[in-house]
A and B are shown apart, each in its own frame.
Chain A
């Protein structure tokens, strides 16, 4: 594990206000989800999950076919599909188009994929103004921070934090009433929408049979982003495809409930191409940027490619006892929580943060709430094995490797195991038979020390089970 990862976890755990903010906000989302999928409200919830899983499995296993079908249908609507293999290609395309169209101001609606490729930073580097229009994203852009959560990017900010950010960045009076804060942001953003030359959105689903981009949101900012400017660019990962328009229904029933506990989000937009003759609004040009950025590397892996089924609802974050303690910014990349722990090592390589797949108690709460039934603990276990293989190749972490070789040898030799057990027991004495608060040297290092930094150790019994069993005469 990197020192940076360790420090970020420590700092988050040590910040009492932040702990409360994360725990309260995720707790609310967690509870609302539970209500929204309760069997009296959604009796076919489990069937829907299985169905959604089957659709995603089929799509990912036939991704080439659906990409081509999608491209055909998008093109038929007068839009263009652009394939980008990485961050640089996305930025190059957007910059090139902005230059051709003389664009200066870009409005953006929420898109984790653009966070992946640092699009704002890249555009700003070239003198373009790129403004986030989702309220949470806007707050974070003003604060120069990355999203804390896939769905609720400013989850860690209290209204007092927001008041401070607005005062500092927007030069407005200190305002702590949330509705009034929203009005401040709206006033600024409305002008941006009207003046913007280009709009960049993400996509929740790409529908192959109709060539449609589906965007689900609550604030209406995505609708303005995609319809007010003359040019609309939708940026999406290739895994966002689903085969048919009718499949959208399955995901709509699951997405909002899993994400925020709403039965349906406020706006569901189905965008299929630029403005047609006679239509009163919509962009003049419509581009769909399909981003790989590491995704296609997952396709050959039978056990792990299910990571691409994710619909970015964030339910796994809200329910994860680890995320609820360490928050979003402890994670090494833009994706946090259980889903971040499985896609980051796969998109970025397992050595990017080798500690990441291990930062889990493998409790399985994530898999239980995943609307598309990704077996996250299973993928974590696979990744842990991948990390150890990579470490062995590089000759890293040798002591641990030796320790587990010894473990395997001891555990396959019962006599040695018994002796080792008795020896270990004698090294951590408990004078009064009570639980142990500290151990003498040389035991006060490594795992024993780590355990004792937080909890007491059980006293070793005077006899092991097998000794007791022999004593009573066995059987």
Chain B
């Protein structure tokens, strides 16, 4: 594998949290990768897929395929969007063997950021420094669909000045769930508040996650509660020095 990496920043990072994308690029460049950003990129199509609109999701997935097919390695700052591409695209094209073959060829080259760093780049210490007491929130799709648990924690363990405290319970959903967060807003909000309690019990001042959508839910609830606790994407923590 060469040292060229293409960013799939996800629509949510592009539109709402651009600094996360910049931080991810910075860390990758620091490690010697040549980073590019295919400008045609938009979204993975998960909102449509999870809402039951498969035909619409297929249109977006085809656009993703077209955009990234020529890329050697694709890295994304989200477990959920990565899982959409590497697990659910195939479900969308079960009856279209030609596209399915293209999906299978692509999905092997798409990586979630922390997985890329630890498993491909083989790095755990990226030379970051940040004075913080942090707790790590496992995004459900990263945790259960991609099996990501140790990688972000190993990366955080090497951040100088950072103390990591685990939540109890650690693996409970923040309540985001895409359109679920607005279709069942009251329920989603109640789940977020239970998550906040777990976060507050750790005494951490920073919540770190590798999924921007979970962070949006958690930060939105923290902000509403008037809490001083801040949220940061893993890439932002690793870019700090």
Contact = CB atoms under 8 A, between A and B. Distances in A.
Same complex for A and B? Answer yes
Interface of A: 1, 9-10, 13, 321-322, 325-326, 355, 357-365, 367-368, 381, 384-388, 400-401, 404-405, 407-412, 414, 417, 421, 424-425, 434-435, 437, 446-447, 450-451, 453-458, 460-461, 463-469, 474-475
A368 B190 contact: no
Contacts of A359: 180, 184, 187
17 contacts: A9-B186, A325-B187, A355-B183, A358-B180, A363-B172, A384-B50, A386-B52, A408-B59, A411-B59, A414-B41, A446-B182, A453-B186, A454-B186, A456-B219, A456-B223, A466-B37, A468-B22
Which secondary structure dominates where chain A touches chain B?
helix
A388 B18 contact: no
B86 to A, nearest CB: 15
Contact of A365 (B11, B13, B173, B217): B173
A214 B18 CA distance: 59
Contacts of B145: 364
A367 B181 CA distance: 21
Which A-B residue pairs are the 6 nearest by beta carbons? A361-B177, A454-B189, A455-B220, A384-B52, A363-B173, A388-B52
Contacts of B19: 461
Contacts of B60: 407-408, 411-412
Contacts of B56: 404-405, 407-408
B177 A362 contact: yes
B192 A404 contact: no
Contact of B37 (A325, A385, A412, A475): A475
A325 B216 contact: no
B184 A358 contact: yes
Determine chain B's interface SS by DSSP, over half rule.
Answer: helix
Given A13-B190, A460-B15, A465-B18, A451 B181 contact: yes
A456 to B, nearest CB: 4
Interface in B134-192: 140-141, 143-145, 171-173, 175-192
Contacts of A435: 219-220, 223
Contacts of A408: 45, 48, 53, 55-57, 59-60
A364 B144 contact: yes
Contact of B224 (A446, A456, A475): A456
B222 to A, nearest CB: 9
Contacts of A388: 51-54
A447 B50 CA distance: 16
B192 A454 contact: yes
B51 A361 contact: no
Contact of A364 (B52, B141, B186, B190): B141
B49 interface: yes
A198 to B, nearest CB: 43
Given A411-B63, A454-B189, A464 B223 contact: no
Nearest to B88: A381
A461 B17 contact: yes
B47 interface: yes
B34 interface: yes
B96 interface: no
Contacts of A465: 9, 13-15, 18, 21-22, 37
B186 A407 contact: no
Contacts of B187: 9, 13, 322, 325-326, 359
B177 A360 contact: yes
B177 A464 contact: no
Given A361-B191, A364-B140, A451 B185 contact: yes
B221 interface: yes
B186 A404 contact: no
A421 B15 contact: yes
Contacts of A425: 15
A466 B140 CA distance: 28
A189 B42 CA distance: 65
Nearest to A448: B182
Contacts of A363: 140, 144, 172-173, 177
B194 interface: yes
B36 interface: yes
Nearest to A321: B173
Contacts of B51: 358, 384, 388, 400, 404
Given A321-B191, A359-B184, A414-B39, A464 B14 contact: yes
Contacts of A474: 36-37, 39
A130 B151 CA distance: 57
B184 A407 contact: no
B42 A414 contact: yes
A321 B216 contact: no
B71 interface: no
Contacts of B50: 362, 381, 384
Given A405-B56, A464-B14, A468-B22, A458 B172 contact: no
B126 interface: no
A458 B18 CA distance: 12
Contact of A358 (B9, B183, B190, B217): B183
Contacts of A409: 59
B188 A458 contact: no
Nearest to A435: B223
Interface string B13-48: 111111101100100000000111101111101011
Contact of A468 (B18, B59, B141, B219): B18
Contacts of A321: 172-173, 175, 191, 194
A316 B60 CA distance: 32
Nearest to A322: B187
Most buried by A among B11, B37, B41, B53: B53
Given A321-B194, A365-B171, A475-B37, A451 B220 contact: yes
Given A361-B177, A460-B16, A9 B219 contact: no
Contacts of A447: 179, 182
Nearest to B176: A361
Given A408-B53, A411-B60, 6 more contacts: A13-B190, A361-B140, A408-B55, A454-B224, A458-B216, A469-B37
A453 B182 CA distance: 9
A466 B14 contact: yes
Contact of B39 (A355, A456, A466): A466
A458 B16 contact: yes
A468 B14 CA distance: 10
Given A361-B176, A411-B60, A461 B18 contact: yes
A455 B215 CA distance: 12
